Structures are given as structure tokens and as C-alpha cells.
């Protein structure tokens, strides 16, 4: 294998962890020793004792022999040697500087000019060798450095500078072997076990050659794998084991930022798990399942800090539920807030079961709405009688100082009457109507995220001592259908007059626009959302589920209903970034007004078409 030629153009450098070669001028201060070494190399060449491991290609790299050179014209050969030396062509071919100079000394022994040139060539070769070794972060550079070592060992095996270089290149070779062993162990998943793990091999390589970049890459990979395993353990609720794994990762390398991010992720997973366990425990209490709720409390106590508010709330709720009175189906009520005012009006939805999703014969059905499956609620729940209003949300903001996502961001999506499109507009938040103008207090609150809605639910829970939350997708469709099984919430035909605020062909915008895809012959008198409760209630006594605005639910996005919960619980993934919303709205075409229709949006999405209502455990 021919090695690439490295031209010397500047100051000689040395590999970190290896001793640098003296400069050519320093080397020439010992002419007698150099001439003796050169004479030894010229008259008696010992076999090169080069470290060889690997395939035949490596053996070719490390097996160098002096090319045969025939000198017919010494002056011409000397000039050729000078030119080769000047361009850094030192040893590979009969026309390289060192083979020519050695042949000239055989032809004209004792020629001082040739001896000086050979000393310069020797110094240049050492300089090339050290530079090659200094750049040896990849295997090709190492082979180039080893090739130079083979030449130096063949010509001047006992020269002190050569000895130092050969020791350095041998350390580099062994460091590469350890890195390769570390890479194999990493691929096998053997991370930090003693002796055999990737970390042990990378540490050995680091001791041999501290500046080798692949060592740092390997250590980073080991640490990243350990951090990933810690995150998996945290996701499984094994937080003690997660922190033990994180401690192992911290011992690999000093990266405080990566460890801090991982620790924050573990704590976020802990908080998320505690919250979800609390929700599950509260839902279990709503189903009178004390055993399950106590199991969830025990799990919270295992992973949470003493006095965690979720565990305190769940413990108190467990204590109360055995003495909690029963509501009756269809009952309308509200909870008292801490200041003596009342919360949103609620309706008790009766327990029961229904078929969730689109029927196979629905021509507009999406695969995301199937398969149709049975969902059963063993206990009723209370749901907001209508969407949460601007006035109700205002009370929350004024009491807590909460800042919504749209307020922080400074914009939301509104309907632009001039263009007839939905556009991003600045200065729009929960106080704004669908078109960006100020909203009245009896209008459904818009321009909020699912997280904003959950913050409002948490505040209501704190104010009332009851447990409020977003409805699950199953709860929403169950309440939307209200015992029916038709294509639309009201049945299979078109909406009756006054049914809901939907896109109808008779609706006209203030600018004279009409819907291009609407219910034929239907008009509800509103272009945009209407004040809540203006249309007829459904069979459960709930308003505006089938129109006005679509509404956030608790579920994360899943493609279709395979493996969906059958008990009506929310289908969630920790940390999901896409949430579901359901129900028709003021701009909903017929396809979007179907009872099975579902849509998704990012956790930070806000718009003029999506609001929310809440469920309260009873």
C-alpha cells in the first residue's frame, strides 16, 4: 500500500502524550552519531521489528524495504535528491530523497555533501512522522504514521529520536486497538462493566493517548447510553434506579450540563408520573374503586417527596369518598369557590356504554376513527353544561395571575373577514374573539392551549376541593352522542333548525361571504361563535357539544383506536406533544360535524376555533 506524502511547510508539531522530535538544526549538531547510524543502516540493515496486527493491508503498510536505485550520473542523482527533499518526497520510490542519497553514499563513500543531505532527509522524515502522528485521530493517519515508523526502524533503529517515535507510534496503535475494542463493546451494550466494558477500553486508550478524539467520542457515547437508560428507568417509575444509573453516567466524563439536563428530565418524568397517578387515583375514586386508588397512592408515596401535594390531595379524597353522597343522573349543580362565588354549571352524565368511532359504512370515515369499539362507564361523571366562557376564565386569570401561551407568545390564529382565511394576528389571546376583537364574557373562551385548560382545571380543583380535568376523548364522544348512534350527534340526517352553530349554506359573514362546504339550506344566524347555551341541549342536558367551538380533550394523538382503553379513561403518553380536540364548531363542514370526527393539534396551538369544557369527578 502506498502511503500519502505529507509536505513539510511550517513548524514541526508533536502528538499530545508523545515526545516531540528535535528540530532538524538540533539533530544536525550530532554529525558523528548520525554518520555512524547512517553507516550502520547502509552496511547492515537488521529486520524491522514492527508491531503488526490485522490484515494483509496493514502488513503491507508496516513492511517497508529500501528501493533499489541505480546511479549513472551522481550529480544528476544528487540534484534529483535535493528536489525530492524539498517537496517532502522522502522514501517511497527509487526517486525519493532517502533511497537516492543512500545509493549515492554507496557510490561515493565519505562524500560530506551527501552525508549532510541524508541528515536533512532523516530530520525531515522524523518531522513528517511526528506530524503524521499528531494528526492521527483516524485510522488512515495512524497507518501513515506507522508507515513512517517502519522506514525509521528499518534505517536507524537505535537512533534516540527514532526510539522515542517508535514508542509513541506503538502507544498510538495500542490506543486505537482499545478504541476499536471499546466500540465493539458499545455495540454489544457492554457499557461500564469492569475490564470488559466499553468504558474500560476507552480509559485504557485515554491513558495511552490522551488527545485521541475517538476516545472522547467513545466516552460521550457511553455516557449518552447510560443517560438514556436512566431516562427509560424514570419512564418506568424506577426513580432510585434511574438516579443510580445517572451517577454511573456522571462518572464517565465531566459534563455538568448533560447531567443537569438528564436530572431535570428525570424530575419532570417523576412529576408527570405523580400527576398521572393522582389523576388515575381520582378517577378510580369516581368509580368507587378504593383499592385501585390506594394502590396509586402507595405508588405516589414510593416515588414522591414527603408532603407532596398530589399525595396529600389523593389521601384526603380517599378518606372522603367512603362518605361521599351520590348524585343523580341529569342533576345540574355547581361548586362553591373559596371566595363564595360559584364555579361552572355542571350536569351529571349517567353511566352506561356506547360504541365509539365511525361505522364501517360511513363514507367519510377516516382510519383514525376506527375500529369502532365498545366503551363502558361504570360510574357517571359531571361535565360542564357548556363551554368555559371568557368571564369564567377571566376570574381564574385575575385570581392567579396566570399567563396563557398566546399571551406570552403575543399572537394567535384568527379569522380574517377581508380575506376569508385564518391568519396569525398579533396581540390576540384569551380575551379576544374569533376575529381578534375583544370578546364578551358570555362567549366561549378561545386562543388557549390544552395546557392552559388544564391549569384552569387545577385551579378549580384547588378552589373547590373537587377534582376537575379535561374530559377524555371517550367521555366527550359519549356525552356528544348522548345515547344516540347516528352519523351526527343528532342522528343521520341534516340538522334541524336551531340544532347547533355550524357552517350552513344560509350563513353570511359581515363581509358577505358564504361557506363553500356547508349543510345545504341550514342557517344558524351566526358567523363565528355564539354566546354559550344559545342552541338546544342534547339528551344529557349539555349545550354546544355538537357546534359553536371544538374542544380540547385529555388524550394524546393516536392513529386509530387499536388498543384504546375500553373503560373511558384518557389515552395518554408521557410528554406527548400532540393533543386531541373533538366536536363541531361554527366553521365545521358536514364531515367535521360527524359524531366520530376527531382532530389533533400541537400542545402550543391556539386558534379561533378551539375552546374547552371540563369534567368533574363525582
Q: Using an 8 Å Cβ cutoff, are 469 and 483 in contact?
A: no
Same structural domain, 303 and 417:
no
Q: What mean pLDDT is reported for the chain? A: 88
- Please determine, for residue 79, whether its predicted confidence score (pLDDT) is greater than 80: yes
SS3 state of residue 49:
coil
Same structural domain, 305 and 440:
no
Bridge partners (DSSP) listed for residue 426: 411
Average pLDDT over residues 414-438: 96
CA 594 to chain centre: 35
Which residues make Cβ contacts (< 8 Å) with residue 247, sequence separation at least 6? none
Q: Please give the pLDDT value at position 57.
A: 56
Return d(Cα 482, Cα 521) in angstroms, integer: 25
Same structural domain, 562 and 432:
yes
Q: Could you tell me which of 348, 354, 456, 443 has the C-alpha nearest to residue 402? A: 456
Could you report the per-residue pLDDT of 240-258, keeping only the tens digit for each? 999 999 999 999 998 999 9
Same structural domain, 458 and 570:
yes
Same structural domain, 384 and 508:
yes
Same structural domain, 281 and 409:
no
Return d(Cα 134, Cα 397) in angstroms, integer: 63
- Please determine, for residue 299, whether its predicted confidence score (pLDDT) is greater than 90: yes
- Please determine, for residue 4, whether its predicted confidence score (pLDDT) is greater than 60: no
Average pLDDT over residues 148-165: 92
Residue that finishes a domain, picked among 130, 158, 186: 158
Same structural domain, 412 and 518:
yes
Q: Please give the pLDDT value at position 483.
A: 96
Same structural domain, 274 and 359:
no
| CA distances (Å), origin 110, targets 97, 107, 118, 284 | 18, 10, 12, 101
Q: Could you tell me which of 171, 125, 132 has the C-alpha nearest to residue 151? A: 125
- Please determine, for residue 34, whether its predicted confidence score (pLDDT) is greater than 60: no
Q: Please give the pLDDT value at position 20.
A: 41
Return d(Cα 436, Cα 433) in angstroms, integer: 5
Same structural domain, 307 and 360:
no
pTM of the model: 0.54
Provide the CATH number for the domain around residue 592. Answer: 3.90.1580.10
Q: Using an 8 Å Cβ cutoff, are 133 and 169 in contact?
A: yes
Residue 588: inside a domain, yes or no?
Answer: yes
- Please determine, for residue 259, whether its predicted confidence score (pLDDT) is greater than 60: yes
Band (pLDDT 50/70/90 cuts) for residue 173 is: confident
Same structural domain, 518 and 562:
yes
Domain holding 154, by residue range, is 24-158
Residue 18: inside a domain, yes or no?
Answer: no
Residue 400: inside a domain, yes or no?
Answer: yes
Domain total for the chain? 3
Q: Please give the pLDDT value at position 135.
A: 73
Residue 408: inside a domain, yes or no?
Answer: yes
Residue that finishes a domain, picked among 158, 183, 208: 158
Same structural domain, 495 and 548:
yes
- Please determine, for residue 139, whether its predicted confidence score (pLDDT) is greater than 90: no
Average pLDDT over residues 164-173: 90
The x, y and z cell numbers of residue 69, run together, are 536505485
**Cis omega before residue 371 (within 30°)?**
yes
Report the percent of the chain where pLDDT is more than 70: 89
Residue carrying C-alpha cell 369534567: 615
Residue carrying C-alpha cell 377571566: 394
- Please determine, for residue 362, whether its predicted confidence score (pLDDT) is greater than 50: yes
Expressed in angstroms, the distance from the first to the final Cα of the chain is 81
Residue 214: inside a domain, yes or no?
Answer: no
Residue 421: inside a domain, yes or no?
Answer: yes
Residue 444: inside a domain, yes or no?
Answer: yes
Residue 167: inside a domain, yes or no?
Answer: no
Sign, Cα dihedral of 445, 448, 450, 453: negative
Q: Could you tell me which of 475, 251, 229, 485 has the C-alpha nearest to residue 361? A: 485
Same structural domain, 296 and 408:
no
- Please determine, for residue 27, whether its predicted confidence score (pLDDT) is greater than 90: no
Band (pLDDT 50/70/90 cuts) for residue 438 is: very high
- Please determine, for residue 564, whether its predicted confidence score (pLDDT) is greater than 50: yes
Return d(Cα 388, Cα 27) in angstroms, integer: 87
Return d(Cα 532, Cα 516) in angstroms, integer: 25
Amino acid at each position: 500500500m502506498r502511503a500519502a506524502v505529507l509536505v513539510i511547510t511550517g513548524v514541526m508539531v508533536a502528538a499530545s502524550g508523545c515526545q516531540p522530535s528535535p528540530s532538524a538544526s538540533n539533530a544536525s549538531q550530532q554529525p558523528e552519531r548520525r554518520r555512524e547510524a547512517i553507516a550502520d543502516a547502509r552496511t547492515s540493515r537488521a529486520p524491522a521489528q514492527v508491531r503488526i496486527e490485522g490484515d494483509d493491508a496493514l502488513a503491507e503498510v508496516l513492511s517497508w524495504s529500501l528501493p533499489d536505485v541505480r546511479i549513472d550520473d551522481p550529480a544528476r542523482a544528487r540534484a534529483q535528491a535535493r528536489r525530492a527533499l524539498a517537496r517532502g518526497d522522502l522514501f517511497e520510490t527509487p526517486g525519493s530523497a532517502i533511497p537516492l542519497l543512500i545509493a549515492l553514499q554507496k557510490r561515493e563513500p565519505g562524500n560530506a555533501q551527501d552525508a549532510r543531505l541524508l541528515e536533512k532527509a532523516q530530520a525531515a522524515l522524523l518531522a513528517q512522522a511526528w506530524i503524521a502522528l499528531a494528526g492521527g485521530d483516524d485510522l488512515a493517519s495512524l497507518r501513515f504514521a506507522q508507515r513512517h515508523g517502519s522506514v525509521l526502524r528499518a534505517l536507524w533503529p537505535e537512533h534516540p529520536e527514532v526510539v522515542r517515535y517508535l514508542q509513541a507510534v506503538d502507544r498510538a496503535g495500542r490506543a486505537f486497538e482499545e478504541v476499536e475494542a471499546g466500540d465493539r463493546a458499545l455495540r454489544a451494550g457492554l457499557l461500564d462493566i469492569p475490564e470488559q466494558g466499553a468504558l474500560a477500553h476507552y480509559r485504557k486508550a485515554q491513558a495511552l493517548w490522551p488527545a485521541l478524539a475517538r476516545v472522547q467520542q467513545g466516552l460521550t457515547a457511553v455516557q449518552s447510553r447510560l443517560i438514556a437508560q436512566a431516562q427509560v428507568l424514570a419512564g418506568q417509575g424506577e426513580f432510585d434506579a434511574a438516579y443510580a444509573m445517572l451517577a454511573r453516567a456522571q462518572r464517565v466524563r465531566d459534563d455538568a450540563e448533560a447531567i443537569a439536563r438528564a436530572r431535570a428530565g428525570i424530575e419532570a418524568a417523576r412529576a408527570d408520573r405523580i400527576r398521572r397517578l393522582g389523576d388515575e387515583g381520582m378517577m378510580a375514586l369516581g368509580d368507587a374503586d378504593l383499592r385501585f386508588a390506594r394502590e396509586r397512592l402507595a405508588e405516589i408515596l414510593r416515588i414522591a417527596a414527603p408532603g407532596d401535594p398530589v399525595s396529600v390531595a389523593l389521601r384526603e379524597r380517599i378518606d372522603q369518598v367512603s362518605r361521599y353522597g351520590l348524585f343523580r343522573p341529569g342533576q345540574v349543580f355547581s361548586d362553591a369557590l373559596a371566595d363564595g362565588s360559584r364555579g361552572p354549571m355542571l350536569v351529571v352524565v349517567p353511566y352506561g356504554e356506547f360504541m365509539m368511532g365511525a361505522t364501517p359504512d360511513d363514507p367519510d370515515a377516516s382510519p383514525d376513527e376506527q375500529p369502532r369499539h365498545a366503551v363502558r362507564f361504570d360510574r357517571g361523571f359531571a361535565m360542564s353544561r357548556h363551554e368555559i366562557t371568557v368571564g369564567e376564565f377571566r376570574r381564574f386569570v385575575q385570581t392567579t395571575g396566570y399567563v396563557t401561551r398566546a399571551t406570552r407568545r403575543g399572537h394567535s390564529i384568527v379569522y380574517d373577514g377581508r380575506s376569508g382565511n385564518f391568519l396569525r394576528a398579533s396581540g390576540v389571546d384569551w380575551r379576544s374573539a374569533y376575529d381578534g376583537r375583544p370578546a364578551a364574557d358570555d362567549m366561549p373562551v378561545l386562543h388557549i392551549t390544552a395546557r392552559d385548560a388544564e391549569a384552569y382545571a387545577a385551579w378549580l380543583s384547588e378552589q373547590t376541593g373537587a377534582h376537575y380535568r379535561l374530559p377524555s376523548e371517550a367521555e366527550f364522544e359519549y356525552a356528544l352522542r348522548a345515547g344516540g348512534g347516528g352519523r351526527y350527534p343528532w342522528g343521520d340526517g341534516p340538522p334541524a333548525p336551531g340544532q347547533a352553530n355550524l357552517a350552513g349554506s344560509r350563513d353570511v359573514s359581515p363581509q358577505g361571504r358564504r361557506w363553500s362546504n356547508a349543510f345545504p339550506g341550514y342557517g344558524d344566524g351566526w358567523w363565528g361563535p355564539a354566546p354559550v347555551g344559545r342552541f338546544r341541549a342534547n339528551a344529557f342536558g349539555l349545550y354546544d357539544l355538537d357546534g359553536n367551538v371544538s374542544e380540547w380533550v385529555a388524550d394524546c394523538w393516536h392513529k386509530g383506536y387499536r388498543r384504546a382503553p375500553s373503560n373511558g379513561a384518557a389515552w395518554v403518553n408521557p410528554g406527548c406533544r400532540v393533543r386531541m380536540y373533538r366536536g363541531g364548531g361554527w366553521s365545521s363542514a358536514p364531515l367535521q360535524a360527524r359524531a366520530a370526527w376527531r382532530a389533533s393539534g400541537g400542545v402550543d396551538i391556539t386558534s379561533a376555533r378551539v375552546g374547552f369544557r371540563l369534567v368533574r369527578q363525582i
